[in-house]
Every structure is written in structure tokens, then in C-alpha cells.
Amino acid sequence: MNMRNSRPLDPKAPTLYVGYTSVLHVGEGIVDEDGRVKLDSGREPFEMARLLVDTLRPYRRVQLVLTTAWIQTLGEAKTASMLPEELRDRVVGSIAKFPGRFNERRNGVARTGSIIRHASAHGIRDFLALGDDLYGVPIDMFPHFLHTPSETGLATPEVLESLERWLLLNASD
């Protein structure tokens, strides 16, 4: 990742693959004429980011890999810089160099394929991907993917409980 102060990816560290839409906020991002990002829902960008900050606080080793499509428009550094500092400091990269293959795009499973290829290429074994568009997950990979509802994202109690359970099992020192 082309960011100063970014920490290097550690394949042995617990890793969260994080999208923005329907995870950290509700609504699709739109860049306005002044270059500001707004959401088509009218809600605030990153309204649920504090939930992730608070949930990750006891787990200092957890690193983040960004899966948001915002990277295609804004680039990795700008996209990561929009996060609260506590999350931004955990970002170790993105799936940008692992784009969806043609057949994956056609079948709506591109993000899932990109995440799996990124994790495999970097030797990451302890990972969890969060998102509302994680389709086509192979059966043996189910434990690595956590679906977030489009309308509630990370604020869904069952999602937070599942994330906390994963962190307890995979990120405790």
C-alpha cells in the first residue's frame, strides 16, 4: 500500500477483510463535484465505524485489508485516509491487485474470489471477510465470511456477536 506509516502485512496476524458499504455505513458512496463522498442513502459515511473501533480495541494484532470498490475511484491511500485513525492504523493493503476475473464478475462473485486469492497469495490463514455482497463462497471457506445485512451493517447484533466470537477464537493473545 502506498501510505506513509502503514504497517506491513503480517500473514500470521488475524486479518479482517472490510468493505465500507453495508459494513461501516448504509448506502452507496457518491463522489460529488467538490470531491467529497456522500451516501445515496443520505446517511453519514462511516456511521458504524466506531462499533468496529470499539470491538477491535482489545485485539491489537488484528490488521485490515480493504475490499471496498471506492479504491477503484479514489485509490488506496485516499480510501484508507477516510477511516477513523484507529482503523486507518490497522490497514495493511487492499484487494486491488487481485481483481475479479471475467467469469466471477459475470456471476456476481468477484469480491469473494478477490478476497480468497489475496489471502492465498499472502499466506493469510486466520481471516474473516465482512460484507453484504460476498456471494459464491466455497463451502470449505464459509467460516471465513460474515454476511452483513444491507440495511444495518455492523450494527446488527448477530453480526457483532459473530465478529466478537471470531476475534475471541482467532485474535486473543
For the record, the C-alpha cell of 155 comes out as 450494527
Check if the beta carbon of residue 9 is closer than 8 Å to that of residue 92: yes
Cut 0.85: pTM above it: yes
15-72 confidence digits (pLDDT tens): 999 999 889 998 888 877 776 788 888 899 899 999 999 999 999 999 999 999 888 8
Structure confidence by residue, pLDDT tens digits, 81-111: 999 999 999 999 999 886 666 565 655 566 7
Per-residue buried b or exposed e for 3-18, using 16+ beta carbons within 10 Å of the residue's own CB: eeebeebeeebbbbbb
> What are the extents of the domains in the chain?
15-170
φ, ψ of residue 55 in degrees (nearest 5) = -65, -35
Q: What does CATH list as the number for 15-170?
A: 3.40.50
